[in-house]
Structure 1
Amino acid sequence: MPNDSDYRYEPLEAFGESLTTRRPWNTQALVGVERLNGRVAMLGFVAALIGERLSGVGPAGQVLAALRWYLNLG
């Protein structure tokens, strides 16, 4: 059975410290994550525009229609 010395834990830090300090591993990870989030947001925006063009209903109307459809299935 493994003991605690077999695991390599990250050092303890104060709440939110990793978001405010400049550590090389932290900034590189955040750059990649934020780039991915931005690209997914752009795809979502384009999908909403295409859906509006096809259906004639804006994004909020599409969400409401989907909720009405889902709630009427029950």
Structure 2
Amino acid sequence: MAPDSFQYEPLERFGEGLTTRRPWNTAALAGVELLNGRVAMLGFAAALIGEAITGLGPAGQVLALLRWTLL
């Protein structure tokens, strides 16, 4: 049998190891998910403002940027 100090895998940054019953510390991930949601809302607002200014949708804005940089 393995000694008590042996660990099958190291502890993960957000909580317990992946082989445990609850692998992630949900309290630590709550802040990350909140930040992801806020950044997504900012990106969506930027796409709407860009569409109002240029008259092109997000895909059209990317294509216009590519045409401007490549030509």
TM-score (norm 2): 0.65
Instruction: Give the CA RMSD over aligned residues.
Output: 2.7
Q: Deviations over 1:5-59 (max 9, x none)?
A: xxxxxx615xx828x8255xx2122110110000000011011001101110001
Task: State the SS of the aligned residue for 1:57.
Answer: coil
Q: Deviations over 1:48-72 (max 9, x none)?
A: 0011011100011001111222223
After the TM superposition, which parts of structure 1 deviate over 4 Å for at least 4 consecutive aligned residues? none
1:21 aligns with 2:22: yes
User: Which residue in 1 is equivalent to 2:10?
Assistant: 12
Return closer, same or farther for 1:68/1:21 CA change in 2, 3 Å cut-off. Answer: farther
Find the aligned partners of 1:49 and 1:68 in 2 and give their Cα distance: 21
Identity %: 65
Aligned residues between the structures: 58
